Every structure is written in structure tokens, then in C-alpha cells.
Amino acid sequence: MVPQKCTICGKVIPEERLKALPQTKRCIDCAREKGSDVVARKVDIGMDAETYKDLLGATRS
């Protein structure tokens, strides 16, 4: 497998990072400095936001 390089600094991205975040294009140092390039997918929670907030409040108290 060809090593994947960071699109910002050009360093090789460690295999462990690629296993955890296969879609990343940044090394950990550049991700910390410039922000992550990984976009999380929004998941439908099956309820309106207010009900969800109430539920969270109930489980945290």
C-alpha cells in the first residue's frame, strides 16, 4: 500500500490514524493546528430537538 501524505505539510499520515479515520487527508499535527478535514454525518435522532434536550437533561441530573 502506498503511504498517504498530508495535503498540508506532505508528511506521511500514520497507518493507525488512517485506520481510525480512513477519509482523512491531514496528519494529526495539521488537523490540530488547522482543524479536522473529517466531516461527521448527521444522524436522524427520531425526535424533535426540544424532546432530545429534555431527555439529555433528565439523564444527566
Q: Tens of pLDDT along 1-56?
A: 689 999 999 999 999 999 999 999 999 999 999 998 887 776 776 778 888 888 88
What is the rounded CA–CA span in Å between residue 3 and residue 12? 6
Q: Does pLDDT of 61 surpass 60? A: no
What is the tally of structural domains in the chain?
1
Q: How far is CA 40 from the centre of its chain?
A: 6
Domain ranges, residue 37 = 15-60
Domain presence at residue 8? no
Domain presence at residue 1? no
Name the pTM for this structure: 0.59
